[in-house]
């Protein structure tokens, strides 16, 4: 079950329409435009709420994403590299977001620093294909959830 705050956060992100992945050539370009629009809106929403916590960019094809994410705890800023690849079966399969610097440092991470997917996220993503995208992935694994991995 998704908590009320996450539902509110997700409802403020535009839904995507194009069901296409990197192998779909022209449709992928359309999908990528939708992804960027949703990400821009999500970042704007976060900034308006003084909740800016990540930066992302992608390669030219939009298949490899990388950047930084951060969390402030007890006046200390923790900053980490973030990276993920778009799966070939996207959007049917969600990206696996990784914080490589945390590899092996917490039980809440998979090998390579991949963030542990809860039993709740995979079914939520599956029910929302193709409407969910990268911004929704970050929204459901929002800063409060990621921070548990950062400092535990």
Query: pLDDT per residue over 33-71, tens digit each?
Result: 999 999 999 999 999 999 889 999 999 999 999 999 998
**Planar angle of CA 50, 96, 107, nearest 5 degrees:** 85
Answer yes or no: is pLDDT of 16 > 90. yes
The one catalytic residue among 12, 14, 37, 116:
116
Active-site annotation holds for 116: yes
Sorted by where each starts, the structural domains of the chain and their CATH numbers stand as 14-151 (3.10.110.10)
Residues 6+ apart with CB under 8 A from 122: 94
Provide mean pLDDT across the span 81-97.
95
């Amino acid at each position: 079950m998704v908590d009320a705050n996450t539902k509110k956060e997700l409802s403020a992100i535009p839904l995507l329409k194009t069901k296409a992945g990197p192998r779909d050539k022209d449709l992928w370009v359309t999908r990528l435009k939708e992804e960027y629009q949703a990400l821009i809106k999500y970042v704007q929403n976060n900034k308006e709420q003084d909740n800016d916590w990540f930066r992302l960019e992608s390669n030219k094809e939009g298949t490899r994403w990388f950047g930084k994410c951060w969390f402030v705890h007890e006046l200390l800023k923790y900053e980490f590299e973030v990276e993920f690849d778009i799966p070939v079966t996207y959007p049917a399969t969600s990206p696996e977001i990784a914080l490589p610097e945390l590899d092996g440092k917490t039980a809440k991470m998979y090998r390579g620093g991949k963030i542990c997917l809860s039993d709740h996220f995979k079914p939520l993503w599956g029910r929302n294909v193709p409407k969910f995208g990268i911004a929704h992935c970050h929204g459901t694994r929002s800063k409060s959830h990621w921070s548990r991995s950062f400092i535990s």
